[in-house]
Amino acid sequence: MTIHKEGYKSILISAILFAVINLASFYFISFSMAWLSWLIFVLTLGLVLFIISFFRVPNRKLTQGSNLVIAPADGKVVVIEEVYDEEYFKDKRLQVSIFMSPANVHQNRTPVAGEVVYNQYHKGKYLVAWHPKSSTENERHSVVIRYAKGEVLVKQIAGALAKRIVNYLSVGQKVDQAAEMGFIKFGSRVDMLLPLGTKVNVKLQEVVKNGVTVIATV
């Protein structure tokens, strides 16, 4: 396991706050209320460990295949349905959505290998990630990857707690399957828009892993 580069600043800040709070607690509280000082220590240590865990990147054996669409995010499948895409395709697509809780790995990966043909950031709201309108009204970053059998649109969507979406791709870039696509800080969701008729290999409420779980076969 490694720590994602997006976490270096957050982890440093949390470590500094941990040190400052506990030094103050030791000098001003520990002699009169030792239990409170210990409680502060445990709570702040737990927060630091959570921040470190949030930015973890586990070592995984990645799944690859030209006829496979791989999960771009860790989390739980919350939507499998037909939708009309107004942003890029202008027709009906099969949407598969993955909800990412704060406890999930938040690194995102490309579901297929191909060329990035569309990359667009959209300002928006911060509705809870499972809200039906979060796909079209929340802050989001959309990427379309053209591959041998068509195109897939991937949306990184901010949630009520997610305040920063990072995307590393650019139009014209060639990407490998399961390559790093970006990162979302503090809980959110990722949508994929696939061609109608795509065989989906997962079910609602199924837990998936980025770069590993086969979402669909094309």
As annotated, the active-site residues are: 188
Q: For residues 71 and 173, is the Cβ–Cβ distance under 8 A? A: no
Asked if 218 contacts 67 with a C-beta cutoff of 8 angstroms, the reply is yes
In degrees and rounded to multiples of 5, residue 63 shows phi and psi of: -90, 135
d(CA 139, CA 90): 20
Percent composition of the chain: helix, strand, coil (DSSP 3-state, to 5): 20, 40, 40
What's the rounded Cα separation, in Å, for the pair 39 and 30?
10
Q: What is the dihedral sign for C-alpha 66, 69, 71, 76?
A: negative
**Are the CB atoms for 99 and 161 separated by under 8 Å?**
no
> CB 3: neighbour CB atoms within 10 A?
14
